[in-house]
Amino acid sequence: MTLCKGRTVIITGAGGGLGRAYALAFAEQGACVLVNDIRPAAAAAVVDEIVTAGGQALANSDDITSMAGAQHIVDAALAAFGEVHVLVNNAGVLADRMFTSLTETDWDRVMQVHLKGHFCLANLLGRRWRDLAKAGTPVDARIINTSSGAGLQGSIGQSNYSAAKGGVAALTLVQAAEMQRYGVTVNALAPAARTAMTEGAMPDVVKKPQDGSFDLWAADNVAPLVVWLGSSASAHITGQVIESQGGRLSLCDGWRTGETRDKGAKWDVAEIGAVLDDLIAASPAAQKVWGS
148 in active site: yes
Annotation says 165 is catalytic: yes
The residue annotated as part of the active site, out of 61, 155, 159, 165, is: 165
Active-site pick, 22, 155, 159, 161: 161
Q: Which of 61, 147, 148, 234 is catalytic?
A: 148
Which H, E and C letters describe the chain, residue by residue? CCCCCCCEEEECCCCCHHHHHHHHHHHHCCCEEEEECCCHHHHHHHHHHHHHCCCEEEEECCCCCCHHHHHHHHHHHHHHHCCCCEEECCCCCCCCECHHHCCHHHHHHHHHHHHHHHHHHHHHHHHHHHHHHHCCCCCCEEEEEECCHHHHHCECCEHHHHHHHHHHHHHHHHHHHHHHHHCEEEEEEEECCCCHHHHHHCHHHHCCCCCCCCCCCCHHHCHHHHHHHHCHHHCCCCCCEEEEECCEEEECCCCCCCCCCCCCCCCCHHHHHHHHHHHHHHCCCCCCCECC
- Catalytic (active-site) positions: 148, 161, 165
